[in-house]
Each structure stands twice: as structure tokens, then as C-alpha cells.
Amino acid sequence: MSNPDLSKLCIHTITTKPWSLEEAIDKYTQAGVKGISVWEDAIKPMGPAKAGEMLSSSGLSVVSYVRGGFFPNLHQSERNKAIDHNKKLLDEAAAIGAPALVLVCGAEPGQSLETSRAQIQSGIETLIPHAEANGVKLSIEPLHPMYADTRSAVNTLQSANDMAEAIHSPWVGIAVDVYHVWWEPGLEAEIKRCGENGNLFAFHICDWKVPTNDFLLDRGLMGEGCIPVKQIRGWVESAGFDGFNEVEIFSNHYWGMDQNSFLTQIIEAYHTHS
Ligand code: ZN
């Protein structure tokens, strides 16, 4: 492998879940990775303040804190709890130096998707002052429609664009994840629209394995499945995005292998297929 350009490579801590935050920081840094997106679980053992110190002295760019959201609920009291929890996550994001909090928006199967979407929009709008006070942006991540039952009522980039444009705040934008939107008709145009409106905050990469054995925990490395990652990255960059390419892979298969070898594979796949 000839001197790969890793200047835009970010890895989500969940991708190398068996590693502690400390190990992830050490291994990513040694491998030349420049960015890290930090999952809530990764900072549990030491708390946000200590995690923030570790991250700021590491030299890695903290790209996102993952993940908030889950706004819809049948009961107002539960929706209020979700707001409070998201405020806490925004505080933690600020403490670890993350400029954005990724939102898995949520869905409530006991009500219509339209009602869930209205609750999501309202929840995000309620959080804006707290996001601004912390200097942390909110990234709506549209999820593949197979998750429309309980994980997200925002299932296309088109629908995420509609919501971000309706909210119309510099603190609210979108995380585009190839796993969730690769199939979407008109994706190129929606990515362009997202960029033109200033809403393209983040770009997540992995692949869709054929066949996929588990619809949560069997994501593939770039190049291993059917997602045209390079092409989508080209669209994202043409839309004006110059941020990190975030490798986010949940995979029992990869978590089960030696994480040093897996990291080498991630870097090779990033170099060759994205
Ligand atoms: Zn993602």
C-alpha cells in the first residue's frame, strides 16, 4: 500500500468496540488516522471531563459525539425526558470537544410516522438554544426504512432535507450515512440540495453486505458489498463537503477478530474503495 492519504479518515469508536477509548486513541494515532467519533459507551468508564482531556492531548480531531435523539413517544412526560437526556448529551459533547451530536431520531410504533416526525422536529427545535450555548451542532441522521418501526421516522435524505430546511437553523444539519441512503432514488440531487443549504454536516461510510445476515450488526467494510461508496463520496464532495469520512461499522464478525488486523483492513479498504 503506497502512502495512503488518511487526512480525512475518521473512525467511530463503536467500529472497534472491543477497544477502550484509551486503546482506540493510541491505535488510531499510531496508524495515522486523524479523526475520531466518540460513542457514549466509550466515555462511560472515565466520564466526559477525563475523556475530553485524553482526546485533546491525543491530537485526534473529535468529529462527532454519538448518539442522541429518540424523541417520539406516546407520552409527553417521556418526550420531556428525552429532551433532558439530549441536553445532557450536548453537555458531554462539549466536554469532549465534539462539534456535533449525531441524532438517531427515534420512532414510536404506536403512532403514525407523521406524528413521530412532528415530535422529532419539535424536539430538535427545543434543543437549539442548548446546542448553541454549548457550541455543539445537531446532525439528523436519516436511517434506512427497515428501522422505521422504532429507531427513526426519518428514513430518506429527502425527508431529512425537508426537516432541516423547515427548522432552518445553523445549529441543525444532517449526517449522511451511505448504509442508510445508498438505495435512495435521486440521492445525488438530495446530496447536492443538502450541501447547497448548508446542511451537510457529516459523512459516514461502510458497506451493505450481500447477503446481510443481521440488519444491525453485519455491516461490511467499504468494497465488501453493493454500495458505490466512491461515487457517493464524489457527490458529497461536489456538494461542498470537505469534512471527515467517518468509518462506522457495527459488526459481530469484525468485533470478533483481532482489532489490530481489523484496523489494518479498515485503512486498506478506505484507501482502495472510498
Ligand atoms: Zn451513521
Tell me, in angstroms, the distance from the centre of ligand 1 to residue 204's CA. 5
Is the residue at 17 inside a domain?
Answer: yes
Tell me, in angstroms, the distance from the centre of ligand 1 to residue 31's CA. 22
Is the residue at 69 inside a domain?
Answer: yes
What CATH number is attached to the domain comprising 125? 3.20.20.150
Is the residue at 182 inside a domain?
Answer: yes
Tell me, in angstroms, the distance from the centre of ligand 1 to residue 18's CA. 19
Q: How far apart are CA 33 and CA 10, in angstroms?
A: 6
Tens digits of residue pLDDT in 92-144: 999 999 999 999 999 999 999 999 999 999 999 999 999 999 999 999 999 99
Residue type at position 229 = V
**What is the helix (H) or strand (E) element at residue 162, kind and residue range?**
helix 157-167
Q: How far apart are CA 195 and CA 189, in angstroms?
A: 10
**pLDDT computed for residue 4 by the predictor:** 77
Is the residue at 196 inside a domain?
Answer: yes
Domain holding 151, by residue range, is 9-273
Across 194-211, average pLDDT: 98
Q: Which residues pair with 38 in a beta bridge?
A: 65
Q: How far apart are CA 120 and CA 123, in angstroms?
A: 5
- Report the domain count for the chain: 1
Tens digits of residue pLDDT in 22-55: 999 999 999 999 999 999 999 999 999 999 999 9
Is the residue at 1 inside a domain?
Answer: no
Is the residue at 4 inside a domain?
Answer: no
Q: How far apart are CA 122 and CA 125, in angstroms?
A: 5
Is the residue at 138 inside a domain?
Answer: yes
The percent of residues in the chain predicted with pLDDT above 90, rounded, is 99
Tell me, in angstroms, the distance from the centre of ligand 1 to residue 184's CA. 16
Tell me, in angstroms, the distance from the centre of ligand 1 to residue 241's CA. 16
Q: Would you say how long the chain is, in residues?
A: 274
Tell me, in angstroms, the distance from the centre of ligand 1 to residue 243's CA. 15
